[in-house]
Structure 1
Amino acid sequence: MSKEVSLQQLIGKGYADFWRFKGRYRVVKGGRGSKKSVTSAYWIPYNMMKMPLANTLVLRKTFNTHKDSTWAQLKWAVNRMGVAHLWQFKKSPLEAIYKPTGQKILFRGLDDPMSITSITVDTGYLCWAWFEEAYQIMNEDDFDKVDMSIRGELPEGYFKQLTLSFNPWNEKHWLKRRFFDVPDPNVLAITTNYRCNEFLGDDDRALFAWMKEHKPKRHRVEGDGDWGIAEGAVYEDWREEDFNYHDIAKLKGYKAVFGLDFGYTNDPSALVCALVNKDEKKIYIFDEHYEHGMLNNDIARVIKEKGYSKERIIADSSEPKSIDEIRGYGIGRIKGADKGRDSVDVGIQFIKQFEIIVHKFKCPNVSIELSSYVWDQNKSGKFLNRPVDDFNHTMDALRYAMEQIRKPSTFEF
């Protein structure tokens, strides 16, 4: 028995141009709750079912983030459209197959470039690619390699298209220059935000109202979908690199340090793991964890799963009860950070002496915060000697971790 489903009722308003555009690049920046990812997840299976020779490549910076994001969202979308019986979602290998034709949605990560350049499809052509969280791609060359892989002649009526969806954290990102600053008929570049999402509840809108009042810089990006302003960056000497943590750890003079910042509803908990050489003035940030809504037992579990339960971890000392509780869960060497007078400024000035190298694939939130962590300004635009209280969760965790280097005698047993 067939069942008709209204796409208008499923998707709502605000995305007509996005849905109909057939040019090479379809780029949508937006805030949280703006429907950009949901709409992309509807568009792909809907159009694959209309065009029986089209296949899709879905990309994220790191492959292992697909299963709980794009793969799950596409599976949700086919269920909402009432066509789940026509699709098979496999976990090994991670893919989705349209049963009537054998067309596939393939999932790849930029952390495995060979898996992208060697893609072949059994049925039809690789027509479309969707880059979710495209802002995390800091290197334009990484995007270009995928862009060049979507090539070749297509049958009449088919078209090649790359869709990019992201939160616009930093106005200096290459995405702005390439897709938003220069008009191009082959590019659809749009901005959306939560105001076009008629499916949000009053509690969701209340959260945005709170953010606008208390976190205006974050609301500019996550609320309005505007570019984040990166003027006055606290840390300028940093870059991304794909390095082997074990190789760096073997080099003379490197010490592993770990920092933890607590959060819950409005702010995430953040764990930062780094290798530091005090003499060479280098910090290699090799791992992170960044998540909202974590209880203390969740934090302890993540630390154990990552293999850091025996490491010295310096945590936000404003929550001694949390530190004691996490210690009770088996993280025996966790300790509170120094929260003395001017500790934030002193910690920042110490870190600014170092070159910061962030792991290209394992630490996306560190990169976002380094891009967005800026000095505060007064009403006349003069920079003050204090950072804005936002985009600072991994930054605070890094500052706590670096106390082991700045004040080593404090952490001796």
Structure 2
Amino acid sequence: MKTDKIYLPDIVGKGYGSFWNFKGRYRICKGSRASKKSTTAAINMIYRIMEYKSSNALVIRKTYRTLKDSCFAQLKWAINRLGVDRYWKATENPLELIYIPTGQKILFRGLDDPLKVTSVTVEVGVLSFLWIEEAYEILREEDFDMLDESIRGEVPDGLFKQITLTLNPWNEKHWIKKRFFDTVDSDILAITTNYMCNEYLDESDRKVFERMKINNPKRYKVAGLGDWGVVEGLIYENFEEKEFDLEAIRKYKAYFGLDFGYTNDPSALFCANVDLNNKIIYVFDEMYEKALSNEKIAERITDMGYSKEKITADSAEPKSIDRLYELGIRHIKRARKGKDSINNGIDYIQDFKIIIHPKCVNFITEISNYTWDEDKFGNRINKPIDDFNHLMDAMRYALEDLSKGNLFSFN
């Protein structure tokens, strides 16, 4: 096989020396947005598979459907970044990356199909590396224990087993903090990185964080510096993540809400069935994605099977609503909003129990971080933070007719 010489620091950049070289069992990196943690983990995995000829890897996210556009895409980018694309084959059915010279593989699984996680086998060598991306999404420590146990058995001399976790540190109460960051163990490397070690950001990228530092210092500590988030003053407390039969809840009316975003914020679609008698909201699906044009939003909604559903959308985007109507989303309408609509909607929803299907990972992240804002003295005020609110707003739009009552409309 022809070999090419590269200088790794030029490819990877700085700030991850200890992460790259550590060979203990657990390697955890929490970091801010744009801290290179996921791209570095991807480059490192490709490099290691090529370096250790008996190794194979497993990549995990909480839901399988999120893997193709995140980890799979990042690893393909890493292959090109290292200039070794002629040695790798990518397949989408099944989702795999194959190192052609040896047949070693990188496999992809979601925790939403635990049987496929626990039954992973490889044809060449051993399963030695596990990468859990967006590990914050895994709320139950026992789910991690199951993954930990899947990396077992002897490995050849010179090879080692390692589990890598990369995450945004939204909540200091997460089990990952206590288990890895508050524990001294030679088999654990737990580091924090931030955007300042990312030399590939341009000036406009850095200005986003500098503005955040001035305008929202609390947000900057987490999203800018990678510190653990301190969550107090939750707006919704009566919620739980729980599997439920999607067919069984169809007897309840479905409600859909859409919040628009683009560059910095995601477009978010909220999908739920509501049991009004028992005051239970069953959150069963979501869309949550940045940089979606109106055409792409319509495509996503159609692909999800909701193009014929009544969708209540943010009235601040009338042109987008009209365009979605032209694109076949014919039952879309504008949210009425009005004075105190945010707090009134929150008051109404607070009377419900909210049960969230585990696949709705972005809804879980938002609702567990959606809090009341503070004044300059640190006192809570009767206004939600302007963060973690895309699906929260979409939920209010969706349930608007319930909270305000139906009104005759030409929309």
Name the TM-score, length of structure 2 as normaliser. 0.95
Verify the 8 A CA contact 1:278 1:405 in the aligned structure 2: no
User: Structure 1 residues 302 and 337 mapped into 2: Cα distance closer, same or farther (>3 Å)?
Assistant: same
**Corresponding residue for 2:99?**
98
Where does 1:388-399 land on structure 2 (aligned, <5 Å)? 388-399=385-396
**Corresponding residue for 1:255?**
253
**Corresponding residue for 1:183?**
184
**Corresponding residue for 1:387?**
384
Where does 1:294-309 land on structure 2 (aligned, <5 Å)? 294-309=292-307
Structure 2 distance, partners of 1:276, 1:2, is 60
Q: Which amino acid in structure 1 is aligned with residue 142 of structure 2?
A: D
**1:291-340 deviations in Å (ceiling 9; x for gaps):** 22223232222222222122111111222232222222222222222222
**Corresponding residue for 1:318?**
316
Verify the 8 A CA contact 1:60 1:66 in the aligned structure 2: yes
Structure 2 distance, partners of 1:74, 1:263, is 27
How far is the alpha carbon of 1:214 from its aligned partner? 4.2
User: Structure 1 residues 308 and 411 mapped into 2: Cα distance closer, same or farther (>3 Å)?
Assistant: farther
How far is the alpha carbon of 1:22 from its aligned partner? 1.1
How far is the alpha carbon of 1:91 from its aligned partner? 1.8
Question: Is 1:120 the equivalent of 2:121?
Answer: yes
Q: Which amino acid in structure 2 is aligned with residue 290 of structure 1?
A: Y
Name the TM-score, length of structure 1 as normaliser. 0.94
Q: Which amino acid in structure 2 is aligned with residue 318 of structure 1?
A: A
Structure 2 distance, partners of 1:174, 1:357, is 21
Aligned pairs, how many?
Answer: 409
The secondary structure found in structure 2 opposite 1:276 is: strand
Q: Which amino acid in structure 1 is aligned with residue 239 of structure 2?
A: W
Structure 2 distance, partners of 1:27, 1:411, is 54
How far is the alpha carbon of 1:217 from its aligned partner? 4.1
How far is the alpha carbon of 1:30 from its aligned partner? 0.6
Which 10-residue stretch deviates more, 9-18 or 292-301? 292-301
**Structure 2: 5+ residue stretches without partners:** none
**Corresponding residue for 2:234?**
233
Question: Is 1:284 the equivalent of 2:285?
Answer: no
Verify the 8 A CA contact 1:88 1:97 in the aligned structure 2: yes
Supply the RMSD in Å over aligned alpha carbons. 1.7
Aligned partner of 1:376 among 364, 370, 373: 373
User: Structure 1 residues 98 and 411 mapped into 2: Cα distance closer, same or farther (>3 Å)?
Assistant: farther
User: Structure 1 residues 321 and 46 mapped into 2: Cα distance closer, same or farther (>3 Å)?
Assistant: closer
**Structure 1: 5+ residue stretches without partners:** none
Structure 2 distance, partners of 1:273, 1:81, is 41
Structure 1 distance, partners of 2:319, 2:76, is 41
How far is the alpha carbon of 1:152 from its aligned partner? 1.2
**Corresponding residue for 2:341?**
343
Q: Which amino acid in structure 2 is aligned with residue 230 of structure 1?
A: V
How far is the alpha carbon of 1:76 from its aligned partner? 1.8
Which 10-residue stretch deviates more, 142-151 or 298-307? 298-307
Question: Identity, % of aligned pairs?
Answer: 56
Verify the 8 A CA contact 1:229 1:372 in the aligned structure 2: no
